[in-house]
Amino acid sequence: MSWLPMLGLTSLPHLGGLYGGYVTRKQVKTWYTTLNKPSWRPPNAAFPIVWTTLYTGMGYGSYLVWKECGGFTEDAVVPLGFYALQLALNWAWTPIFFGAHKLKMALIEIVMLTGAVGATMVSWYPVNRTASLLLTPYLAWLCLATSLNYCIWRDNPDEDEKEE
* Cβ atoms 68, 127 nearer than 8 A: yes
State the pLDDT at residue 23.
83
pLDDT at 9 over 80: yes
**Percent of the chain having pLDDT more than 70?**
96
pTM of this prediction?
0.91
Q: Is 161's pLDDT higher than 90? A: no
Window from 12-21, 37-46, 85-94 with minimum mean pLDDT = 12-21
Among 28-32, 71-75, 139-143, whose mean pLDDT is lowest? 28-32
pLDDT given for residue 20 in this prediction: 84
**Residue 55: pLDDT above 70?**
yes
Q: Residue 58: which residues within 8 A CB-CB, separation 6 or more? A: 13, 83, 87, 134, 135, 138
| More confident site: 103 or 22 | 103
Q: Are 149 and 109 in contact (CB under 8 A)?
A: no
CATH architecture classification, 3-34+44-157: Up-down Bundle (1.20)
In this predicted structure, what is the pLDDT of residue 158?
Answer: 72
Domain ranges of the chain: 3-34+44-157
Can you tell me the distance from the alpha carbon of 161 to that of 164, in angstroms, rounded to the nearest whole number?
5
Q: Is the pLDDT confidence value at 152 over 80?
A: yes
- Mean confidence (pLDDT) of the chain: 94
